[in-house]
Chain A
Amino acid sequence: MEQLTKDRFKTEEYFINMGPQHPAAHGVLRLILTIDGEIIKDVDTDLGYIHRSIEKMCERDSYQQIVHLTDRMDYLSSHINNEAVCLVVENGLQIEVTDRVKVIRTIISELTRLASHQLWWGVNGMDLGALTTYFYAFRDREKINDIFEETCGARLTMNYNIPGGLMFDIHPNFVNRTKEFITHFKTKLPEYDRLLTGNVIFEKRTMGIGVLSREAAISYGASGPVARASGFASDVRKRHPYSAYDRVNFEEAIRTEGDNYARYKVRIQEMWESMKIIEQLIDNIPEGEHQTKTNAVIKLPKGEFYQRVETARGELGVYINSTGTKNPYRLKFRSPGLSNLSLLKHISVGAKIGDLVANMASIDLVIPDIDR
């Protein structure tokens, strides 16, 4: 009888294409899902829909031009990407940038991180079905973008760094507006918690979902908030300080649960820490030149150069192999998004469709960063 029932009402797995055009894909990511009813059996990731061969283009361009290409990778941490390339070139040329440059770079990096996490918070809520979070996040993100616009001339792809320093000096309003923003956001960040964090449905949707162990996080090469939520202390700002991070006091946000809720809390805490860093630096930006003179044509000495920075999504590494000409012989970005995306299958198999969307949101994917 049981066999008969099984034969007559047998279930079949089916395929579903999530993306490349799908509201949850945050860009053009294509997931080929094998689903049994609502349960996910397999996740196959198909990349390449927004591949622009940035690394190959870098071999063609001069070092000043490379900086502008990096904006288009992880566009939510464009300043930090620029900084990574500038740091590696400065290391290669043995240029020491002024303290002023270091501090301003750090402040803007942290503002970028705040803006990125705000956007993530809004989108995370939206992926879980709470549409209002998006507008709350954008209210505050606009203020950061306005600061950027005033100082850098652009709101998203800033191009403020150049090898040797900054494109221009900061705008006279920069310090005041940043301080205003910090006081504003200190009252608004608890509002984020009130709207989403304590909500019963939100806790049910995130706690214990998409659990990533510390071992798995390390072996998949996870970095950033994803790794730190699994207890893997991997913050480049703490481990290998660059720019002005060695002179500020901040805590590395670490949790051990490894689920979506932990990743959420880590990012919320990082926003507090970013504000702490900015507060320590904003009042005493040292006087000095905003750039160090470099040659019009930069030629890196023969050899290999590597620099890692902490973007909003994790560790970005820039590897340059130079033969002593005005272009890099080979350039490689180690982007945080790609290794974090590789986790998706690990944490999503056996979960429901809704969980997969929540997992994708908690990993904080930016597709151009993955595809480059």
Chain B
Amino acid sequence: MMKTLSITKTIHDFLFGLMPEGIASFVEWVMIAAAYLAFFALAGLLLVYMERRIAAFFQLRLGPNRVGPAGLFQTIADALKLVTKELTIPDKADKFLFNLAPYFVIVAALVILSVIPFSAEFQAFDINIGVFFVMAVSSIGVIGVLIGGWASNNKYALIGAMRSGLQTISYELSVGLSIMTIVLLAGSLQISEIIEVQRTGGWFILQGHIPAVIAFMIFMIAGTAETNRAPFDLVEAESELGAGFHTEYSGMKFAYFFLAEFINMFIVAAIAVTIFFGGYLSPFGITESLPWMGVFWFMLKTLMIIFLMMWFRWTFPRLRVDQLLTLEWKYLLPMNLFNIVFMAVIIWLGWTF
């Protein structure tokens, strides 16, 4: 199940030589989990920093620039502050569900992270229905938002949670269908397979030309909506609902929601890179001989997509709730269905590059 990089292979051999097989594989699992958790925290903090910096530059400000070099440690200081804050629970809240909700959100984000291939040999979990797995797990996160909003015993939180429910359920369709358009081209649901196909035939956004570009645009719109970011941030529309579903959360529980939002953004960008831009593959195969460069290319492409998402977050006004649904059900969904047929016809006629 676990493809091994040479360094991981050394560790693997060392552990299996040291202790019985059962304990060794358990230790290995724990190590992988710890590595992913560390990445999760680090990436979350860095993305928050990046967002604040980029937002500042869009808004003629400087952003965090005091703590550490260029303000890099600002988010760490903020995280420390959040850890030390009191965890308040509102009176008459459903305490069990209230405490459970953040974990739903964060676990869903973490589990999807495990199927993302950072490089050819760095992927924790490469199952043959990878794409399906991503879509299935990503809908678990919304359950956390829903129960969090409901259990808070706050009307603003409830409205936010309900909005989140309808938004995620609607846009899940578009995300799924736009990924399926590319799956048609790749002929596989396995994520590593999807990338390897692009090694020979070129990135899917070029291979599939018009329908692939349409699918990419739909994926970006729907993916942004899935992560509840502006212009689709109705869930936490601060001018309407205060803070939306996490109005009543404080301290680390709030931080979980906050971190999960950024990790979800990373995941959407990573999936976009994987299925449209060749994942860890280098452009024109310029570093074909250096497989470890895959991580660099993957992160570079992902950060560029993330920058794109931040760009429209800081320029667009917010949609209204009915306009959000109109956009999905009247425009994106029919376009998507047509696009799938279009793609099928193009593949059938062999008009791909």
Residues of A at the B interface (CB closer than 8 Å) are 14, 16, 22-24, 38, 125-132, 134-136, 139, 195-196, 199, 201-202, 204-205, 352-355, 357
Contacts and interface: CB of A to CB of B under 8 A. Distances in A.
Interface in B139-157: 155-156
Given A23-B242, A353-B159, A353-B240, A201 B59 contact: no
Given A127-B239, A135-B59, A355 B320 contact: yes
A357 B240 contact: yes
Given A129-B233, A201-B323, 11 more contacts: A23-B242, A130-B315, A130-B316, A131-B55, A132-B314, A199-B317, A201-B231, A201-B319, A202-B317, A205-B318, A353-B241
Contact of A132 (B59, B155, B237, B318): B59
A354 B61 CA distance: 28
Contacts of A352: 320-322
Interface of B: 55, 58-61, 155-156, 159, 230-231, 233-234, 237-242, 314-323
B58 A129 contact: no
30 contacts: A16-B156, A16-B159, A23-B238, A23-B239, A24-B239, A24-B240, A38-B159, A125-B317, A127-B239, A129-B230, A129-B237, A129-B316, A129-B317, A130-B317, A131-B55, A132-B58, A132-B59, A135-B59, A135-B61, A139-B60, A201-B231, A201-B318, A204-B320, A352-B320, A352-B322, A353-B241, A353-B321, A354-B234, A354-B240, A357-B239
Contacts of B315: 130, 132, 195
A51 B57 CA distance: 40
A128 B320 CA distance: 9
A38 to B, nearest CB: 5
B149 to A, nearest CB: 14
Nearest to A131: B314
Contacts of B230: 129, 131
B242 A22 contact: yes
A135 B60 CA distance: 7
A354 B320 CA distance: 6
A337 B65 CA distance: 41
A17 to B, nearest CB: 8
Given A14-B155, A22-B242, A129-B230, A196 B317 contact: yes
Report which residue of A14, A22, A136, A202 has the largest number of chain B beta carbons within 10 angstroms of its beta carbon: A22
A91 B96 CA distance: 70
A126 B316 contact: no
A354 B237 contact: yes
A125 B321 CA distance: 17
B60 A129 contact: no
A204 B317 CA distance: 10
A135 B319 CA distance: 21
A130 B242 CA distance: 16
A336 B319 CA distance: 30
Contacts of B317: 125, 128-130, 196, 199, 201-202, 205
A201 B316 contact: yes
A139 B320 CA distance: 28
A14 B231 CA distance: 27
A16 B156 CA distance: 8
Contacts of B323: 201, 204-205
Contacts of A195: 315
A136 B60 contact: yes
Minimum-distance CB pairs A-B, first 3: A129-B318, A135-B59, A128-B317
A220 B233 CA distance: 35
Contacts of A129: 230-231, 233, 237, 239, 316-318
A139 B314 CA distance: 17
Contacts of A22: 242
A201 B231 CA distance: 9
B123 to A, nearest CB: 37
B7 to A, nearest CB: 44
Contacts of A353: 159, 240-241, 321
B155 to A, nearest CB: 5
A170 B55 CA distance: 39
A315 B314 CA distance: 36
Nearest to B314: A132
A352 B319 CA distance: 12
Report which residue of A38, A139, A195, A204 has the largest number of chain B beta carbons within 10 angstroms of its beta carbon: A38
Contacts of A355: 320
B157 to A, nearest CB: 11
A205 B320 contact: yes
A123 to B, nearest CB: 9
Nearest to B233: A129
B152 to A, nearest CB: 14
A139 B238 CA distance: 23
B155 A126 contact: no
Contacts of A134: 59
Nearest to B319: A201
A132 B230 CA distance: 12
Contacts of B242: 22-23
